[in-house]
Structure 1
Amino acid sequence: MKILRPLANPEKENSFSVKWRKRRFVLFTQLLSGLTPPVRILDVGGTEYFWRNVRFVPESETSIVLLNLYEIDVTLPWISSVVGNGMDLSRYGDGEFDIVFSNSVIEHLGSWENQLKMASEIRRVGKHYFV
């Protein structure tokens, strides 16, 4: 299976994985374009690297909160990082985010029950969601 690794490498610009994510991201930007600023995005399991890699340039009133099991360093002024778990978003109110975004995380939660917990929380805190 070593021969397939380069195709799935998220750090290689020409990998299948990166090309597919960029194609999906076009759909996300279409959803985003229909929203009125200010726009708050919660990215469950996200990284600043991802947003740089897809060359996302936000409107002036767009902010992204990266939620991960551990703190990650961020340098972009419109991105912040918090520690948390996508299955428990109780720190956030219903509809607190305009969009909840999650790229390739839900399938790594193990059980179907855990996936349902995360999906339920995403629907609760987001007015829209893109998973």
Structure 2
Amino acid sequence: MGSPLRQLFVDGPNSVAAKARARRWHWVAQTFPDLTRMHVIDLGGTASAWLRAPIRPASVHVVNLAHDDEDLPDWLRTEVGDACELPKRILGSDYDLVFSNAVIEHVGGFARRRAFADAVHTLAGRYWVQTPYRYFPVEPHVLFPFYQFLPLNVRARINRVWPLVHTNSPDWTAALHDALDIELIGRAEMRLLFPTATMRAEKVAGLTKSLIAIKA
């Protein structure tokens, strides 16, 4: 279940993160009022997130490195795949909207983020790509102040012992990998990757917590 503080801020049904997700779904519905008729591809998402969502598109195709084995309704399907190296079969499909939530910061380096953005632009004329903002003072995955600016060995140590990490890294090598897996990006890079998007800032206490690149 995680620590009480993590339940309060991230994992609990009434947590700060849960309220932010509800607000974000409301924004999605406002931005794409015809979403119930749209065919959506979700890069890096999960079937369970769509099953919990308050809105339901006509169809959703989730592409993720991990496989989701649960029984799914006919409007929802999952597929194992790398969003930065999608096969031509997917790139040539007809989607109305690309959706991605907190994925681009995990794909690994600028070259792969650029490949991810190229896939977004190829898959559909409309998109919604959200990512945590690099300069928010609390790193959202680890819940440690200014984690993203610390040396790698310090971040690895935090991954081993910090009680608010979802799952502490089991050894030093895993801790290094876990630290390197998170590469938060800022506004300038998001504008470079999505030059025709409208950039929406999600704020907490007046500070930008995440950026959403939107083309509607």
Tell me if TM exceeds 0.5: yes
Report the alpha carbon displacement of residue 96 of structure 1 after superposing the two structures with TM: 2.2
* 1:47 partnered with 2:49: no
Indicate which of 70, 74, 83 corresponds to 1:86: 83
Q: How does 1:48-87 map to 2 (within 5 A)?
A: 48-58=47-57, 62-73=58-69, 74-87=71-84
Task: Give distance in 2, aligned partners of 1:123 and 1:24.
Answer: 22
Q: Quick check: 1:109 aligned with 2:110?
A: no
**What residue in structure 2 maps to residue 5 of structure 1?**
6
Name the structure, 1 or 2, with higher relative contact order (CA <8 Å, separation 6+). 1
How far apart, in 1, do the equivalents of 2:22 and 2:67 lie? 25
Runs of 4+ in 1 over 3 A off after TM superposition: 34-37
Cα distance in 1 between the residues matched to 2:110 and 2:91: 24
* CA-atom RMSD in angstroms: 2.2
Q: Is the 8 A contact 2:42 2:63 kept in 1?
A: yes
Number of aligned residue pairs:
124
Structure 1 residue 18 corresponds to structure 2 residue 51? no
Residues 36/122 of structure 1: CA separation in 2 closer, same or farther (3 Å cut): same
AA of the residue aligned to 1:92: I
3-state SS of paired residue (2:125): strand
Question: What amino acid sits opposite 1:77 in the alignment?
Answer: D
The SS at the match of 1:91 is: helix
When residues 49 and 85 of structure 1 are mapped into structure 2, their CA distance, relative to the original with a 3 A threshold, is same
Q: CA deviation at 1:31?
A: 3.0
Any stretches of 5+ residues in structure 2 without a counterpart? 130-216
Measured in 2, the distance between the counterparts of 1:52 and 1:41 equals 14
What's the TM-score once normalised by structure 2's chain length? Answer: 0.51
- Structure of greater Rg: 2
- SS of equivalent residue, structure 1 residue 127: coil
Deviations 1:6-37 (A, max 9, x none): 2122xx21111121122111121123314694
Q: Report the 3-state secondary structure (helix = DSSP H, G, I; strand = E; otherwise coil) of the residue aligned with 2:102.
A: coil
- Deviation per CA, 1:66-125, whole angstroms, max 9, x where unpaired? 101132124222101111111022332457210010111111122122111101111111
Residue 130 (structure 1) shift? 0.5
Give, in whole Å, the separation in 2 of the partners of 1:18 and 1:36. Answer: 22
Distance in 1 (alpha carbons) for counterparts of 2:79 and 2:107: 19
Q: TM-score, normalised by structure 1?
A: 0.81
Distance 1:93 1:109, change over 3 A: closer
The CA deviation string for residues 22-73 of structure 1, in whole angstroms up to 9 with x for no partner, is 2111121123314694x21001111121112222234xxx100010113212
- Say if 1:95 and 1:30 are closer, same or farther in 2 by CA, change over 3 A: farther
